[in-house]
Structure 1
Amino acid sequence: MTPTPPGVELLAQAVTYTRSTLAAVSLDDLARPTPCDGWRLADLLAHLDDALDAFTEAADGQVWLSPASPALLGRPVATADELRAKAQDLVRAWRRPAPVGPVVGVGGVGVGGVEVGGVEVGGVGVDPTAVVLTAALEVAVHGNDVARSVRDLPARDLRRLPGPLARGLAGAADVLAPADDRTGRFGPRLAVPPGADDSARLLAHLGRVTGTTPD
């Protein structure tokens, strides 16, 4: 059997963090603003729902993606508990043994000589490691967006990405979200003050300010 793609354990860390932030969501929070300009928390959850479905489908080798939009609210919004279950299913899907195909490193994550299957995304072949790391980045950052949007958290430090997760995603973020190519996914890169931790650095690279809660 061939191994799962490099980066799956990083995805598992992202899912663990985001499941913790989703556990704090209440119905009263759905209309609250998020760090995503013009989106309320309900919009963000709808986008996260769509992304989890797409990345889980990608584990089987093919997925057709459509641009994310608050218009996704035209369908019922998944509950936080449903999203927590979907996030767990995402990791299980990518931990299954993969078919044979080439693999390359993304942001320093890769294993020389290991082969895993390719993924067809919107009709284009994509290295599965890139898909897994994109999923990890999306899940982690949107988990942080959720943490910054809800009114009450069981632990205030949930508004910061765990250090090991932020460090693990830093290299992938440089490749997957370069400063000169945001294509509407992230805001402009922000300046980072001296002494900033790994969470602040990663979020600033993606155009987000650490720790604040939108009002």
Structure 2
Amino acid sequence: MTTDALAPLLGGVGLLERAINYTLGVLHPVRGAELSAPTPCGSWTLHDLLVHVDESLLALHEAAGGHVDLAPAGRTPGDPVTAVRNHASGLLGAWTSSRHTGVTIGDAVLTTGILATAGALEVAVHGWDVARATGRSRPLPPALAEELLALCPLLVRDLDRPARFAAPVPVPASALAGDRLLAFLGRRP
């Protein structure tokens, strides 16, 4: 990869911010009655998906401190929409004030750029999942999708399939970047 292609890794926090802003925009109109809706994520309801997103946000917040505990944090009680909104907002503050250059996860150490970029991928794609579950047309922002798509080969490996991601779905080469990103991750855009 060229230095230009790796720029999003170097600016991982900015990429994470854009992913969070997209997802918060998607969450804005979500109402409690929609929480039982199915999502593109296997057998998960929207409630299940939002609990997962919230747990991811909590882990990313912890990562801003330089370490992520491998023990699950447990489910956040209450309204998952409110929890995701609150934790997403707090996450950006934690990352922008962090002085860590690496994050320890178990025995591994990742750069903050890689972890923030992986977080951006998780947050953005699950934001799209929320939009799909609620029947709203909210495509991924083109520039965000392009950057995440370029970094996918570094973040998603064959070993991640089928456990974390389904097999890629074919789409035309002329498809929008967001559709190509979603298809690469096993979603039907």
TM-score class, shorter: 0.7 to 0.9
**Equivalence for 1:170:** 149
Give the TM-score, by structure 2 length. Answer: 0.87
Cα separation, 1, equivalents of 2:98 and 2:62 = 15
Residue in 2 that maps onto 1:65: 70
For residue 160 of structure 2, give the secondary structure of its aligned residue in structure 1.
coil
Question: What is the SS of the residue equivalent to 1:13?
Answer: helix
| Structure 2 residue runs without a partner (length 5+) | 1-9
CA separation in 1, counterparts of 2:47 and 2:71? 19
Query: Is 1:87 the equivalent of 2:66?
Result: no
- 1:26 paired with 2:31, answer yes
Aligned to 1:200, which of 175, 179, 184?
179
Contact 1:191 1:204 in 2 (8 A): yes
Cα distance change on mapping 1:48 and 1:97 into 2, 3 Å = closer
Contact 1:41 1:149 in 2 (8 A): yes
Distance (Å, rounded) in 2 between the aligned partners of 1:120 and 1:171: 25
Per residue, is there more helix in 1 or in 2?
A: 2
Alignment partners' CA distance in 1, 2:77 and 2:90:
20
1:31 is displaced (CA, Å) by 0.8
Query: 1:39 maps to what in 2?
Result: 44
CA separation of 1:67 and 1:35: change in aligned 2, threshold 3 A: farther
User: Corresponding residue for 1:106?
Assistant: none
For residue 80 of structure 1, what is the amino acid of its counterpart?
A: V
Letter in 1 for 2:155: L
- 1:16 pairs with 11, 21, 26, which one? 21
The corresponding residue for 1:128 is: 112
Change (3 A) 1:92 1:194: same
SS in 2 for 1:142: helix
The answer on whether the counterparts of 1:179 and 1:189 sit within 8 Å (CA) in structure 2 is no
Alpha-carbon distance, 1:98 to partner: 1.2
TM-score, structure 1 as length reference? 0.77
Q: Which residue of 2 is the match for residue 149 of structure 1?
A: 133
Task: Calculate percent identity across the aligned residue pairs.
Answer: 40
Give, in whole Å, the separation in 2 of the partners of 1:81 and 1:65: 25
Compute the displacement of 1:180 (Å): 5.2
Structure 1 residue 195: Cα displacement: 1.7
User: What is the CA deviation profile of residues 115-143 of structure 1, one whole-angstrom value per residue up to 9, with x for unaligned ones?
Assistant: xx211112422221111111000000111
Looking at CA atoms only, which structure, 1 or 2, has the larger radius of gyration?
A: 1
RMSD over aligned Cα atoms: 2.0
The Cα of 1:6 is off from its aligned counterpart by 2.6
Number of corresponding residues = 180
The answer to whether the 8 Å contact 2:59/2:68 transfers is yes
User: Which residue of 2 is the match for residue 187 of structure 1?
Assistant: 166
Cα distance in 1, alignment partners of residues 162 and 40 from structure 2: 17
Deviations 1:18-56 (A, max 9, x none): 001111211111111000011111100110110000001
The runs of 4+ residues in structure 1 deviating greater than 2 Å are: 65-68, 75-79, 178-183
